[in-house]
Amino acid sequence: MSARNPNYSSRSMVNLSTTQRSIAQKAWGGGASVRGSSFGSSFGGGVQGGGGGMGVGFGSSFGGGVQGGGGGMGFGFGSSFGGGVQGGGGGMGFGYSGSGTMGSFTGGSGSGAGGAGGLMSGGVNEKAEMQNLNDRLASYLEKVRALEKANAELEGKIHNIASASARAVKEVDWAGYYDKIRPLQQQIQDKIMENARLALEIDNARLASDDFRNKYETELLLRQSVEADINGLHALKMDYTNTQRNLESEISSLQDELDYLKKNHEEDMSGLKQQMTGTINVEVDATPGPDLNKILEDLRDEYENLMRKNRDEWASWFNKQAESNNLKEPSEAQPEMEAAKSELSESRRQMQNIQAELDALRATIQALQQALQDVNARNEQELLRYQAIVTRLEEELSSVRSDMTRQSQEYQNLLNIKIKLEAEIATYKSLLEGASVEGSEEHHSDHK
C-alpha cells in the first residue's frame, strides 16, 4: 500500500483544484478553523491551522492535523500514521493495529494523549515508514510552495493584463462607434414603431373581421328569414294561381253563357225586327253621335205624329158615325152600330199594338242611346290614347329634328375644319415644294 502512495500523492497534487489550492493557502497562513476532507488520496486536513486542524483519512498516506494552533486531531490512514503532530493545545491520535504514534508532540499548554502501545514492537518498520512519510511531506510542501509561487506569478500577470486592458479601454475613441450606433438605434426605434403600427393594424383588422363576421351572421339570419318568407309567398302564390285558374274557368264558362245569351238575344231581336219590317223600316247609319240622335228624335216625332193623327181621325170618324146613327132609326142604325163597335174595338186593338211597338221602339232608342254613350266614351278614350301617342310621336319627332339639326351643325363644323385643314395642307405642300425647288437651284448653282 505504501508503494502506491507516492504516485498517488504526486498525481493528486498536480490535479489540485482552485478550491483546494485556496484551502491550502489559508492553512499555511493560519485561520480561525480549517477542516479538510479527502481530496484525491493525498492530503486531508489542515496545515498550520490557526484555530484547529482536523484531517479525515486519504488513502493510506496522511491524515490528521499538522501543527494545529488550538489542537490537532487525526484519524487513521492505513497502518501508517494517525494523530496530531505538534498540537497547540493537545493532540489526540487514533492508531491502527496498535501503531498510533505520538499523540502530542511539543504540546503548548495542553496535554497530549496518543496511543503508543506498539511503539516498541514495530520500531524499525515504523521508523522507515515515518522517514518515508517525512520525505513525502517535504516533497509535498515543496510542491505547494512551487504552486504558490506559480500562482503568484499568474496573479501578477493577470493583474498586469487587466490593468493594461483597462488603460486600453480608457484610451479607445467611441465616437465613431456612436455614429454607427445612432442609425442602428434609429432603425430599431423605427422597427419598434413599425411593429406597433402593424400590431395596431392587426388589431384593427381583427376588429373589422369581427364586425364583418357579425354583419355576415346578421345578414345570414336576415337571408334565412327572407327565404322563409319567400317560401311562404311561393305557397301563397300557388294558392292564388289555383284560385286564378278556377276563376278563369268560371269566367270562361260565364263568357260562354253570356255569348249564348247574346246570341239568343240577337236572334230574338232579329225576329222582332223582321216582324216590325212590315210596318216600320228603321235604318241606322254608323255615323257619328249627333246624326243618330237626330234620327231617333225624328223617329219619336214621327210615331207621335202618327198616333196623334190616328187618334184624331178615329175621333172624327166616330163622331160622324154617331151623328149619322142618331139621325137614323134605331132599327136601321143597329147594324151600323155593331159594325162601328167592331171597327172601334179593332182600332183599339191596333192602337194597343202600336203603343206596344212604340214602347219597344222607345226601349230600343234607350238601348241605342246607351250604346251611343258607350261608343262615345270608348271613342274619347281612344282619342285620348291617340292624342298621347301623337304627343309622344311629336316629341320624338322634335327630338329627332333637334338631333338632325345638331348633327348637321356638327357636320358643317367638321366640313369647315376639313376645308381649313386641306387649305393648310396645300399651303404647307406649296411651301415645301418651293423650299425643295430653291434647295435644288442652290445645289445646281453650287455645282456650277
What are 202-246's pLDDT values in tens digits? Answer: 999 999 999 999 988 988 898 888 888 888 888 887 887 787 788
- For the ranges 296-300, 320-324, 417-421, the one whose mean pLDDT is highest: 417-421
Chain mean pLDDT for the chain: 68
According to the model, what pLDDT value does residue 448 have?
57
pLDDT surpassing 70 at residue 80: no
According to the model, what pLDDT value does residue 346 have?
79
H-helix or E-strand spanning residue 278? none
According to the model, what pLDDT value does residue 245 have?
81
**What distances in angstroms separate CA 427 from CA 421, 430, 436, 441, one per listed residue?**
10, 5, 14, 21
Q: What is the DSSP letter of 44?
A: -
Match 216625332 to its residue by C-alpha cell.
301
User: What's the start-to-end Cα distance of the chain, in Å?
Assistant: 136
According to the model, what pLDDT value does residue 190 have?
93
**What distances in angstroms separate CA 206 from CA 195, 203, 211, 212, 217, one per listed residue?**
16, 5, 9, 10, 16
According to the model, what pLDDT value does residue 198 have?
94
Angstrom distance (rounded) from CA 284 to CA 287: 8
According to the model, what pLDDT value does residue 124 have?
73
Which three three-digit cell numbers place residue 147? 504552486
At 331, the pLDDT band (50, 70, 90 cuts) reads low
- What is the value of pTM for the model shown? 0.23
Angstrom distance (rounded) from CA 324 to CA 344: 16
